[in-house]
Amino acid sequence: MIVKLSNVAQILGSAVPQGAADFEISGIKSPKTADEHSITFLSNPKLKSEIEESLSTVVIVKEGLSIPGKICLEVKDPYLGYARVAQLFEDTSPLFTDRISPDASIDATATISETSSIGPGTVIGPGVTIGERSRIAANCVIEKNCEIGEGCRIDSGVIIRWGTVIRNRVIVQSGAVIGSDGFGNAMEGSRFVRIPCFGIVIIEDDADIGANTTIDRGNFEPTVIGRGVKIDNLVHIAHNVMVGEDTAMAAQVGISGSTRVGKRVIIGGQAGFVGHIDIGDNSFIGAKAGISKSVEPGSKVTGYPARDFMTMRRIEAAQASLPSLLKEIKELRNEIKAIRSER
C-alpha cells in the first residue's frame, strides 16, 4: 500500500513541509527496520539517536521538535499519531476468502451481508445476522439468533453463544468465548443445583476482546461491555457485569458477577474483583489488586486488600525495612533487659 505524505499529514492534522506533499509512504516501521519510504515516530526523546540513524525519511514528532535530514510531522502526542497512522496501513482484507468459504456451514435462515466474509470450518446457526464488511475467520461457532454488526473482526476459533449481540467495529480475538453460562448454583443440602442463565451478552461499538477471554451471559438482564472498552487476553468477566465505555483491563483480570465498572477505568493485570460492587469512573486499579469493596470515582488503589495507591506504596517501603527494624527492636530489648538487671 502506497500513501502520499499529504494524506498521512491530513490524518494527523499536521502541516506538510513545502515540496513534500507527494512523497510516497509504503508503511510504518520501527526506526531500526525502516527504509526511506517508511514512516516512524519519536515518543521518547531518549530514542532520538535511533531516529537520527534510521533510514526513515519521515518521522512523527512532538510539536516544536525538528530532526536534521528528516521530514518531521509535528503533533501533540506522537504515540497517538503512531496509532492513527498504523491503522491506515493495517491489513483489513478478508482473513481467508472474500466471500463465504464452501467449507463453512451456514443455516438457511442466517442473514449475511454480501460484503462480509466467512472462513472455512465456521458454523453459523439459525437466525444469525451479520452486517456489512465483517470478517469471520476459520472454525468459529456463532450460535442461533446472534447479531453481529458492521466492520467486525471475529478471529479463528471464537465461540459466540446464542443470542449474543455484537455491535459495530468490534474485534474478538482467537479462543474467546462470548455468552458462556454464568457461575450460578444454589445449595440443596451438600449438593449444588445449577441455575440456568436466561440473559445475553451485549458488546457495544469499537470494543476489543482479547484472546481466550470469557464473558458470561447474564442471569436475566444482559452482561454489557461498553463502547470502546479494551480487554486484554485471558480475562474473565462474570454474569451481569457492566463495563463502562473506554475502560481498559490488562491480562488475567477477573471480575465477579454483578459488579459495575465505570467509564475510563484502567485495570492492571491479574486484578481480582468480588461481586456486587461499584468501581467509579476514572479510577485506577493497580496490577494484582484485590478489590473487596466499592471504589470511589477517581480513586487510585492497589495491593491486597486494595488500599489507596500512595498508602500502599508507603506500606511496601516500610515492609522493605522490616529486617533492619526487627534487628533494632532486638537490640533495644537487650538494652532494656540490661538496664533492668542493673537496678
> Rounded CA gap, 308 and 317, in Å?
14
What pLDDT is attached to residue 307? 82
What pLDDT is attached to residue 257? 96
Model confidence, pTM: 0.89
Nearest to 59 by CA among 75, 40, 44, 87: 40
Whether 57 and 23 have beta carbons less than 8 Å apart is answered as yes
Whether 110 and 116 have beta carbons less than 8 Å apart is answered as no
> Rounded CA gap, 218 and 71, in Å?
53
Segment 144-178, tens digit of pLDDT: 999 999 999 999 999 999 999 999 999 999 999 99
Whether 299 and 308 have beta carbons less than 8 Å apart is answered as yes
Whether 241 and 204 have beta carbons less than 8 Å apart is answered as no
> Rounded CA gap, 223 and 237, in Å?
9
Strand partners, 40: 59
Give me the DSSP letters along 79-103.
HHHHHHHHHHT---S-SS-SSB-TT
3-state secondary structure of 121: coil
Planar angle of CA 321, 325, 330, nearest 5 degrees = 155
Segment 301-313, tens digit of pLDDT: 998 888 888 888 8
pLDDT tens, per residue, the chain with 343 residues: 899 999 999 999 999 888 889 999 999 999 999 999 999 999 988 889 999 999 999 999 999 888 999 999 999 999 999 999 999 999 989 889 889 999 999 999 999 999 999 999 999 999 999 999 999 999 999 999 999 999 999 999 999 999 999 999 999 999 999 999 999 999 999 999 999 999 999 999 999 999 999 999 999 999 999 999 999 999 999 999 999 999 999 999 999 999 999 999 999 999 999 999 999 999 999 999 999 999 999 999 998 888 888 888 888 888 888 888 889 899 899 888 888 887 7
Residues marked active site are found at 239
* pLDDT > 70: percent of the chain: 100
Strands 129-130 and 111-112: parallel
For the chain, give the longest Cα–Cα distance.
99
